[in-house]
Homo-oligomer: A and B are copies of this chain.
Amino acid sequence: MSNHSSPERASVRRHDEVLGYLLKHTHFVLEERTDAALAPLRLTSRDLGALRVIAGGEARSQQDVAAVLGVDRTSMVALLDALERAGIVARRASEQDRRRNVVELTETGRKVFNQAEQTSLDVEQNFVKTLGTDGASELQRALRSLLRVTSQ
């Protein structure tokens, strides 16, 4: 009995057995800690994410940055406004395509970014230290693998 249709297959999962719950709350705790550590620099983890992409080498348009981070391009405007006001990034029109803004770190921005990135790295390493070095890189490998499969 009790195998007449799919609903009966499901057992009741505790909320901490659900991958979505685990991902969301783990991210939440890590972001909370990162934001706290970044507060003295007047940056959020959201800001740092943008700076990381901008610092990543080749010149990026606003839309590139937004797309990588999964932020809407209309939200990116205000985010960059604040960073520009703080003297951390600069916009200039692309020479290849003058519709685009190329976003770059200023000299000050580079320094702030280096500090922020080191802070973020410290928080992250402290966060995962109970997993051991192997466990931590194993976790990263697994997550990267999931993202790669889903976006190919």
A residues bordering B, Cβ < 8 Å? Answer: 6-10, 12-31, 34, 45, 49, 52-53, 55-57, 68-70, 111, 114-115, 117-118, 120-121, 124, 127-128, 130-131, 135, 138-140, 142-147, 149-151
Residues of chain B with a CB closer than 8 A to A130's CB: 145-146, 149
**What DSSP secondary structure best describes chain A's contact surface?**
helix
- Chain B residue nearest to A112 in the complex (CB): B7
Question: Contact: B13 with A52, CB < 8 Å?
Answer: yes
Question: Contact: A22 with B140, CB < 8 Å?
Answer: yes
Residues of chain B with a CB closer than 8 A to A69's CB: 15
Residues of chain B with a CB closer than 8 A to A8's CB: 114
